[in-house]
């Protein structure tokens, strides 16, 4: 009994000390309402057992309003669920909030933040972004080559669907292969063939990384847990090792064959930038700033982002088309009318296919790829609206809440492409500013244009010729995503059937 009392008194003392310390830390600040929190564990009791963090944060608005705070372990976190406040963070004060937290899992993935997505704001980070930006512009966006490349992969995809017609099919690996090949060409000038062993390895390590990295797991909250046996962390390490092996192979090949006059992929472009920096600024003390690690992690980031995000959206799109056959039919009518049966879809058709474009916008709204974005960090004392935000605060933007805000969207839970069309149905527009599928501001997605090209071309090519239905004996897949670094699609099977009008015509016509 005595022991119990002593423990109780100790806990109470610790609690009051904690409250005092919190007050001292933020004297007379007007902070967003806070979830209850305890010493050491912070607000984890409220979060424990909820794996769908975006949904929990959405629901907590009822009690705490659209902006509130909590403690993840000892880290002070502010959650933003409203688009106006989100835009203040991302756009108006973008540079102030451009920091990133360092976490155990992302440090492992990115060699302590030497990439772009998970690295904090710095001059070098800005340079990395600029280099990638110009590389992407040079090799693709807007240019015919990228369109050709995507169409080539779309053609393979259609051939595959034709060959496996009417069977019960898990499309995920083939979608991933198509998307990977586009970004493989951009990064390394290489591609995977069907059944490629290296591709299988990539699929595996990639899934391992998605399952373990940056999902607000316990090791990221209590870094000391990394020193205890931890299955997830062991898996992540193995996957990162595999990734590094493949990455280093490419790197060795690129270094060997490097020629500054024929730079035609991202890895070459970064190598050239590194060599130029070393030659031109050889007397500057920071000439080694752009290290090999930075170069490798930048390519790994673009590759990983390019593969995982677009594949995920394509899977969501197919899943929703299964749920809404009438939407699929309407898209096909539009494709038939505007493109016809004598040629394949091309990028210039985009502006003539409003219903189809609206469908893509709606998929990105209802199932945002990145439901909580990646946490931002305030680099100095600042504010959001009327609230003070001390330096070091982590800010989570709940894109799920922003895309499901009932004040902004009619029936936000309903899949309705029509909401993105004007009253005549001929023009696409955004009915609400509460829509940020690619984020915004200085950390906005770098692949938005590429992603939109791929989503359009892949889906247009497929839907022009094939209709998706649920295979016999299967039920509709639940449209519930699994929270993580991306909102993951549940595995499901489809049947792709060549449309009546195309029967008898060659698919590669």
Please identify, among the stretches 127-135, 166-174, 266-274, 297-305, the one whose residues bind ligand PLO according to the rule CB under 6 A. Answer: 297-305
| Rounded-to-integer distance, Cα 417 and Cα 428, Å | 10
451 binding ligand PLO? (CB under 6 A): no
Strands (E), 418-458: none
| Element containing residue 298 per DSSP (H, E) | helix 292-323
**CA pair distance 415, 320, nearest whole angstrom:** 8
213 binds ligand PLO (CB under 6 A): yes
Q: In the chain, helix, strand, coil percent, each to 5?
A: 55, 10, 40
- Residue nearer to ligand PLO on the CB measure, 35 or 209: 209
Q: Residue 231: which H helix or E strand, with range? A: helix 231-257
Please identify, using beta-carbon distances, which residue of 136 and 209 lies nearer to ligand PLO. 209
Greatest CA span in the chain, whole angstroms? 87
Burial class (CB in 10 A: 0-12, 13-18, 19+), 130: exposed
Q: Which residue number, 44 or 453, has a Cβ lying nearer to ligand PLO?
A: 453
Q: Is 220 in the site for ligand PLO (CB under 6 A)?
A: no
Asked if 132 is part of the footprint of ligand PLO (rule: CB under 6 A), the reply reads no
Q: Which CB sits closer to ligand PLO, 87 or 243? A: 243
216 touches ligand PLO by CB under 6 A: no
Smallest gap from Cβ 509 to ligand PLO, in A, equals: 36
Judged by CB under 6 A, which of 90, 117, 135, 157 binds ligand PLO? Answer: 117
Binding mask 74-113 toward ligand PLO (x if CB under 6 A, else -) reads ----------------------------------------
Determine if 210 is a binding residue for ligand PLO (CB under 6 A): yes
Report the residue number, 213 or 322, with the smaller CB distance to ligand PLO. Answer: 213
| Distance of alpha carbon 401 from alpha carbon 410, whole angstroms | 14
From the list 58-66, 75-83, 369-377, 393-401, the region that binds ligand PLO by CB under 6 A is 369-377
The tokens describing 155, both together, are 């053609």
Say whether residue 369 binds ligand PLO (CB under 6 A): yes
Question: In whole angstroms, what separates CA 125 from the centre of its chain?
Answer: 19
DSSP alpha helix (H) spans, 339-447? 354-366, 399-403
Backbone region of residue 45 per phi and psi (left: phi > 0; alpha: psi in -120 to 50; beta: other values): alpha
Is residue 301 part of the contact set for ligand PLO (CB under 6 A)?
yes
CB of 337 to ligand PLO, least distance (A): 34
* Residues near ligand PLO (CB under 6 A): 117, 206, 209-210, 213, 301, 304-305, 308-309, 369-370, 374, 485-486
């Amino acid at each position: 009994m005595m022991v119990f009392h002593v423990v109780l008194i100790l806990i109470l003392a610790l609690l009051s000390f904690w409250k005092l310390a919190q007050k001292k830390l933020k004297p007379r600040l007007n902070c967003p309402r806070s979830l209850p929190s305890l010493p050491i564990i912070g607000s984890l009791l409220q979060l424990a057992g909820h794996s769908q963090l975006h949904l929990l944060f959405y629901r907590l608005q009822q009690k705490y309003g659209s902006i509130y705070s909590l403690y993840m372990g000892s880290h002070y976190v502010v959650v933003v669920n409203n688009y106006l406040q989100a835009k203040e963070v991302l756009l108006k004060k973008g540079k102030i909030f451009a920091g990133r937290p360092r976490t155990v899992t992302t440090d492992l993935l990115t060699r302590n933040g030497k990439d772009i997505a998970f690295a904090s704001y710095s001059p070098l980070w800005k340079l990395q972004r600029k280099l990638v930006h110009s590389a992407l512009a040079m090799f693709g966006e807007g240019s015919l080559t990228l369109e050709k490349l995507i169409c080539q992969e779309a053609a393979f995809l259609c051939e595959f669907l034709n060959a496996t017609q009417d069977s019960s099919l898990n499309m995920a690996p083939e979608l991933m292969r198509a998307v990977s090949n586009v970004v493989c060409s951009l990064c390394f000038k290489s591609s995977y063939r069907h059944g490629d062993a290296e591709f299988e390895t990539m699929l595996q390590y990639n899934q391992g990384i998605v399952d373990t990295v940056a999902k607000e797991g316990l090791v990221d909250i209590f870094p000391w847990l990394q020193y205890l046996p931890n299955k997830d962390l062991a898996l992540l390490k193995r996957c990162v090792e595999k990734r590094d092996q493949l990455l280093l192979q490419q790197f060795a090949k690129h270094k060997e064959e490097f020629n500054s006059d024929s730079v035609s992929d991202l890895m070459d472009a970064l190598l050239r930038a590194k060599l130029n920096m070393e030659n031109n600024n050889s007397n500057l003390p920071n000439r080694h700033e752009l290290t090999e690690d930075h170069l490798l992690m930048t390519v790994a980031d673009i590759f990983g982002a390019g593969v995982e995000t677009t594949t995920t959206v394509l899977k969501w799109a197919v899943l929703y088309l299964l749920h809404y056959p009438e939407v699929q039919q309407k898209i096909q009518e539009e494709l038939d009318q505007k493109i016809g049966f004598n040629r394949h879809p091309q990028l210039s058709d985009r502006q003539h296919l409003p219903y189809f474009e609206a469908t893509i916008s709606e998929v990105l709204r209802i199932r945002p790829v990145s439901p909580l974005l990646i946490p931002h960090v305030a680099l100095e004392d600042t504010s959001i609206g009327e609230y003070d935000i001390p330096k070091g605060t982590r800010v989570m933007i709940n894109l799920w809440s922003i895309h499901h805000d009932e004040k902004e969207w009619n029936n936000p839970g309903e899949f309705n492409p029509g909401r993105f069309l004007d009253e005549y149905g001929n023009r696409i527009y955004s009915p609400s500013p509460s829509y940020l599928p690619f984020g915004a501001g200085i950390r906005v997605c770098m692949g938005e244009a590429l992603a939109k090209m791929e989503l359009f071309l892949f889906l247009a090519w497929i839907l022009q010729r094939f209709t998706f239905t649920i295979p016999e004996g299967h039920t509709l897949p639940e449209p519930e995503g699994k929270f993580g670094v991306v909102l993951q699609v549940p595995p499901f099977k489809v049947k792709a059937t060549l449309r009546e009008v195309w029967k008898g015509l060659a698919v590669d016509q």
